[in-house]
Structure 1
Amino acid sequence: MTEHTSRRRPLESLAAVRRAVRSIAVRHGLPVETRARLTAAVAEVARRDLERGRPVGVTARRGPEDGPAAGILTVALSTAPPADPGALALLPAPAADGAGRTEWRLALPPPRPAGDDGTAVQPAGCEDAAEEELALLLAGMDSLTADHQRLKSELDETNSGVLALYVQLEERDERLRRSYGQMLRELEDALRPPPLRVPGLDLAVHYAPADTVAPTGGDLYDWFLLPDGSVHITVVDALGHGVGSTRAALDVTHAVRTLALDGYPLKSIVGRASEVLNGIDPELMATVLLVRIDPATGELLLANGSHPPALVVRAGGATEYLDVSGRGIGYPQPGSDHVLRTRFDAGDLLVLYTDGLTESRRDPLEGERRLAASAARHAGRPVDEIPGAIAGDMHTLVLHPDDTLALTLRRRRDDW
């Protein structure tokens, strides 16, 4: 008997395709590396159709309990015929071209063993699955870096007759680096929380890495609802770039979220998070901006640890930086000196960001003036367009490439 698993509703975005594939892989118990490669491969094939506005569909068929197809999972993507069928074999998970679809045939692992209480071990959820895949890829990146250095040392000791081999290995390394970079960015995006849907608030975010080939960095955000109905937002800029700073930023957001949900006062969270994280990673350094907003009343609270100040564009067009002094995580005497309390009225726009947005060739104050002018110019646009528009303005003049994060909020009156 054949077991069928399918997603019948058309998928209209790469994020939806990745969620669908990851859900299928988790449900059928595929190994972490197989799951990561399958998700990246299906998304790569689906990209062409989605960019042309054509939704795709993902289905899965499990083989019968006995017979030649036993233990085989077939994942199919409905898509236009590939421009180069031979390229399917070069995907992270090789595929085959079918009639109106692309197929992946994967060997299923043995059934999961029962737990100590006799019940079947449950598969990880999609968020846990994304973290598992990220951990695997981070280890793969570390191993790839070590292998790359070893090969370079060996090739330096050879004679000129091995130069052609060296060139081939460099080209192969570049392809692998790009492949891992793409997979790593997809998994990092999966760990970035999507915009909250809160009555009375519109939220949007824009993120761009300093290096698109190695798209990880220390700029991160987190937002969630507290039990009293207020919205908490954390913006983090961890020192450095790449995988190490991503780990540090995730540690910071997790620590802040735990403290906030445990009821710690906003003023004490930066200092307490620094104490906790110092025991885990004494070298971790990060700037942090914490924001609390009550969507019903418009009360806005801010605490700061060495982070650039928030910018508010009032409904009438005036701009104001909400500056709070403090020291960041890992800094001497970490913590916010006080909590700034102000109003966030209907029509106001709040802009939170990292310093990659304002660094210019002249001075930081000049960057802040340009940011205020850009935010005021775009304040009337839909909120989801504003962060990208501001980043486009600011990146016409920068000191050096840096990770960039811009987050915007607007308060509405019609929901209250």
Structure 2
Amino acid sequence: MPRKRSTDEGDELLARLGSLTAQARERAELQRSQVELAIALQRGMLPRDLPAAPGLHIAVRYTPANLGLNVGGDWYDAFTLPDGRIGLAIGDVQGHNIEATVFMGQVRAGLRALASVTGDPGELLSRTNDLLLSLGTDLFATCTFMRLDPATGVLESARAGHIPFVWATADGRAGVADDEGGPPLGIDSCVEFPVSRHRLTTGGHFVLVTDGVVEGPSLDIDDGLEQVVSLAGIAAVAGLAAPALAAAVMKGAEGVGHDDDAAVLVVGLDGPGRHHMTGPARPAGHV
């Protein structure tokens, strides 16, 4: 009898272990499915194609987060507006989960849809803000939207709580655009987003990033932006194209030590004539 009881106890233990193993396998399979779904959502909500125009070079980079489901709310977009100019956008939605990814898709889709009605960056952000508030979500998003005329290099820009962009000219001068901005999207109603005007110079670049590129436990945003400024200036002098600069900026982000996702959008312009940007353009109305 004692030997049989010992055998029964061993069988019961094996049965429990088997049940725990099966549960662990199910949880692992569920986690894998969630990750695959999240990655598919993330990829599906970022643009596959970028607009083309003579002399215009656009490059983008994205790396997922190291937390949760390895997705988040960072995004970028570039598309042709009804008047032939180019719309450029970059943004960051609060959170690092599927909800943030879905909300990111709503922001991007709303922005694109409204851009067919108005290409003015300030009005576009204001209408997008109203749209997001109507959704009744607790999430919010930062965003920069630009309208670029490739023929002249003239660019209009507005930002909603987002990091300012970096500019560089062909002679190696570079800096952070000193633009006035508004609050993040989805927080307050009846807010305005000032529009600033710049000129994209021949051989120069504009670099837009999310905070995952320039901020981390070992680096604050100001120092991170200075690193991007340095890279942009070096790239301009070396004559590097937009893809090489985008790759260098993202490579530099690896040393930030962050767990956030990160996005980079670089636009450069080549063509006849050369325009010199003496520094960040001032807000519209003060030019």
Same fold? TM cut 0.5: yes
Provide the residue aligned with 2:182 in structure 1: 326
Provide the residue aligned with 2:276 in structure 1: none
**1:409 matches 2:263:** no
Query: What CA distance in whole angstroms lies between the structure 2 residues aligned with 1:402 and 1:281?
Result: 25
Instruction: Render the CA deviation track for 1:196-218: whole Å, top value 9, x for unaligned.
Output: 22222111110011138824210
Question: Matched residue of 1:395: which SS?
Answer: helix
CA contact (8 A) 2:50 2:79 kept: no
**1:393 matches 2:248:** no
Query: What CA distance in whole angstroms lies between the structure 2 residues aligned with 1:167 and 1:298?
Result: 61
5+ long unaligned stretches in structure 1: 1-157
Query: What CA distance in whole angstroms lies between the structure 2 residues aligned with 1:349 and 1:272?
Result: 28
**1:349 matches 2:205:** yes
Instruction: Render the CA deviation track for 1:202-253: whole Å, top value 9, x for unaligned.
Output: 1111001113882421011222111221101121211101210111111111
Provide the residue aligned with 1:205 in structure 2: 60
Query: What CA distance in whole angstroms lies between the structure 2 residues aligned with 1:352 and 1:250?
Result: 19
Instruction: Summarize the alignment of residues 3-402 of structure 1 with structure 2, pairs less than 5 Å apart.
Output: 162-182=16-36, 184-193=38-47, 194-211=49-66, 214-263=69-118, 265-322=120-177, 323-333=179-189, 335-360=191-216, 361-379=218-236, 380-398=239-257, 400-402=258-260
5+ long unaligned stretches in structure 2: 1-11, 274-287
The one of the two structures with greater contact order (alpha-carbon pairs below 8 A, sep at least 6) is 2
CA contact (8 A) 2:141 2:184 kept: yes
Query: What CA distance in whole angstroms lies between the structure 1 residues aligned with 2:190 and 2:251?
Result: 33
CA contact (8 A) 1:270 1:328 kept: no
Query: What CA distance in whole angstroms lies between the structure 2 residues aligned with 1:413 and 1:243?
Result: 42
CA contact (8 A) 2:210 2:262 kept: yes
CA contact (8 A) 2:241 2:268 kept: no
TM-score using structure 1 length = 0.57
Q: 1:406 to 1:334 in 2, by over 3 A?
A: farther
Query: What CA distance in whole angstroms lies between the structure 1 residues aligned with 2:190 and 2:100?
Result: 19
Q: Deviation of residue 302 (structure 1)?
A: 0.6
> What is the number of residues matched between the two proteins?
258
Query: What CA distance in whole angstroms lies between the structure 1 residues aligned with 2:23 and 2:37?
Result: 21
| Matched AA of 2:46 | R
Query: What CA distance in whole angstroms lies between the structure 2 residues aligned with 1:403 and 1:281?
Result: 25
Query: What CA distance in whole angstroms lies between the structure 2 residues aligned with 1:298 and 1:386?
Result: 19
Q: Deviation of residue 257 (structure 1)?
A: 1.4
CA contact (8 A) 1:224 1:231 kept: yes
Query: What CA distance in whole angstroms lies between the structure 2 residues aligned with 1:159 and 1:259?
Result: 62
Percent sequence identity is 28
Provide the residue aligned with 1:94 in structure 2: none
